Amino acid sequence: EVQLVESGGGLVQPGRSLRLSCAASGFPFEDYAMHWIRQIPGKGLQWVAAISRNSAGIEYVDSVKGRFTISRDNDNKSLYLQMNNLKADDTGLYYCAKDSYYDTSGYPDFWGQGTQVTVSS
Partner 1 sequence: DIQMTQSPSSLSASVGDRVTITCRASQGISNSLAWYQQKPGKAPKLLLYAASILESGVPSRFSGSGSGTDYILTIGSLQPEDFATYYCQQYYSTPQTFGQGTKVEIK
Give the residues lining the site for partner 1 (CB under 8 A). 35, 44-47, 50, 59-62, 95, 100, 104-114
- Measured from the CB atom, the residue of 14 and 72 that comes closer to partner 1 is 72
- Measured from the CB atom, the residue of 47 and 71 that comes closer to partner 1 is 47
> What is the nearest approach in angstroms of partner 1 to the Cβ of residue 60?
8
Contacts of 97 (CB under 8 A, 6+ apart): 4, 34, 35, 36, 37, 108, 109, 110, 111, 112
Residue 112 CB-density burial (10 A; 0-12 exposed, 13-18 middle, 19+ buried): buried
* Phi, psi (rounded to 5 degrees) for 66: 85, -10
> What is the nearest approach in angstroms of partner 1 to the Cβ of residue 71?
18
- Measured from the CB atom, the residue of 2 and 15 that comes closer to partner 1 is 2
> What is the nearest approach in angstroms of partner 1 to the Cβ of residue 108?
7
